[in-house]
Amino acid sequence: MAAPATSKGEATRAAIFGAALELFRTHGYEATTMRAIAERAGVSLGSSYHYFPSKEHLILALYHHLHVLHREACAPVLARERSLAARLRGVLRAIVMTCEPFHEVSGSPFSTVADPRSPLNPFGAESAAMRREVIGLYAEVVRGSDAKLPAEVAAELPRLLWLYQMGVLYFWIMDASPGRLQTLELIDETADLIVRLVGLANLPLLRQSRRRALALVRAIAGNAPDN
């Protein structure tokens, strides 16, 4: 009897999640209430809170959903390209294209994201699983490339690229250009620049600066719980 119960629970959870996405798109994050989500999904308010304790947890579920779609979208690039610049550029282009349907409402939860107590804060404990998955994706980007990197750089680069992705997505949220052309141009320019800077890490004269830069990355990203 456990299987039907699980199936029904998954269907209920999916209905709540789908209703939330529809309301977020049409009314925005701030204007959407948990009661409205429950009514749209055809479930009780208590049931909606059972599956998602808050609107923030619905956004966390959205982040995970988009990450799954993102991995699928960038798989051909990672299978085809060996250049670090091409792999990085392809993965970043894929994330903004994947998120594009939510561009109009993407800025709504930003103040919540910035709150260190929020489940949505990218450095918070409740975001740890999502954070590890994204860093793991960038570890794949680095590992599958033909770039010759010092071991300490290769170890820390995925976390640096995670921070870089957050910067790109913040720019994308503010980008009002047609087709988000400015964001795509930013990706093309900065991806090449980052790869060139990473290449300089092999120079003996920059070894001390490299260590200081890596220590800074660890200090910024390492404060995140379970990172």
Is 1-52 a CATH 3.40.50.2300 domain?
no
Q: If you compute the radius of gyration of the chain from its CA atoms, what whole number of angstroms results?
A: 20
Taking only the tens place, the pLDDT of each residue in 146-157 is 998 888 888 889
Could you state, in order of their start, the residue ranges of all structural domains in the chain?
Answer: 1-52, 56-221
Average pLDDT over residues 213-223: 65
The whole-model pTM stands at: 0.83
Lookup result for tokens 């709150």: 115
DSSP 127: G
The answer to whether residue 8 scores a pLDDT higher than 60 is yes
Higher pLDDT among residues 148 and 223, named by residue:
148
Distance CA 155, CA 137 (A): 13
Hey, what are 85's tokens? 């610049």
Tell me the pLDDT of the chain averaged across its residues: 87
Distance CA 142, CA 183 (A): 22
Hey, what are 101's tokens? 């349907």
Taking only the tens place, the pLDDT of each residue in 61-92 is 999 999 999 999 999 999 999 999 999 999 99
Quick one: pLDDT band at residue 3, thresholds 50, 70, 90? very low
The answer to whether residue 2 scores a pLDDT higher than 80 is no
DSSP string covering the chain:
-HHHHHHHHHHHHHHHHHHHHHHHHHH-TTT--HHHHHHHHTS-HHHHHHH-SSHHHHHHHHHHHHHHHHHHHHHHHHHH--SHHHHHHHHHHHHHHHHGGGGGGTTTTHHHHH-TTSTT-TTSGGGHHHHHHHHHHHHHHHHTS-----HHHHHHHHHHHHHHHHHHHHHHHH--SGGGHHHHHHHHHHHHHHHHHHHGGG-GGGHHHHHHHHHHHHHHHTTSTT-
Taking only the tens place, the pLDDT of each residue in 27-61 is 888 889 999 999 999 999 999 999 999 999 999 99
Look up the CATH architecture of domain 56-221: Orthogonal Bundle (1.10)
Taking only the tens place, the pLDDT of each residue in 95-105 is 999 999 888 88
Quick one: pLDDT band at residue 117, thresholds 50, 70, 90? confident
Higher pLDDT among residues 196 and 38, named by residue:
38
